[in-house]
Amino acid sequence: MARRWLLPILFVLIGLAMALKQVSAGSTGAGVALGLVFVLLGVALSPVVFPRSLAAAEAQRRSAVDGRPIVYWRPGCQYCLRLRVRLGTAARRAHWVDIWRDPDGAAAVRAVTGGDETVPTVVVAGQPYVNPDPGWLRGQLAR
């Protein structure tokens, strides 16, 4: 659990420290702007911006019933964030599995990627795709 929040918390703390330094030097506007940028980066890298994660077994069971893709991801991954942002509201039509929370999800990714935990890994109709184009996945979700 702590590993998922380490990077976002570090961003916020570093940003606040840099902002306080700017404010104490008399540059209030720059300090506030710098603090805000780091807080926003911390939020963007946190698990908060992703849909609720399921266990891998539950995602596989649901996908077999409703045919939705499964997206394996982890917090702090810039490629996962890019995929999530580019999917927009369509992201809720996929089943999301956080591989740092679910060892079975991490094992499923390692089985597909030859032992690496490369994310995002998306499984559509039983076929895995490593770091797919967000536009392509958006098309798959529209079906």
Report the distance separating Cα 119 and Cα 104, nearest Å: 14
Tens digit of pLDDT at every position of the chain (143 positions):
577 788 888 889 999 999 999 999 999 999 999 999 999 888 877 777 778 899 999 999 999 999 999 999 998 888 998 999 899 888 889 999 999 999 999 999 999 999 999 999 999 999 999 999 999 999 988 87
Q: What is the pLDDT of residue 1?
A: 53
Q: What is the pLDDT of residue 33?
A: 93
Q: Which two tokens mark 46? A: 């946190």
Contacting residues for 98 by C-beta, under 8 A, at least 6 apart: 4, 47, 50, 53, 73, 74, 75, 105
- 117-to-29, 54, 56, 128, 143 alpha-carbon distances in Å: 41, 17, 14, 13, 28
Place of tokens 């994660």: 53
- 56-to-69, 81, 130, 142 alpha-carbon distances in Å: 12, 20, 16, 23
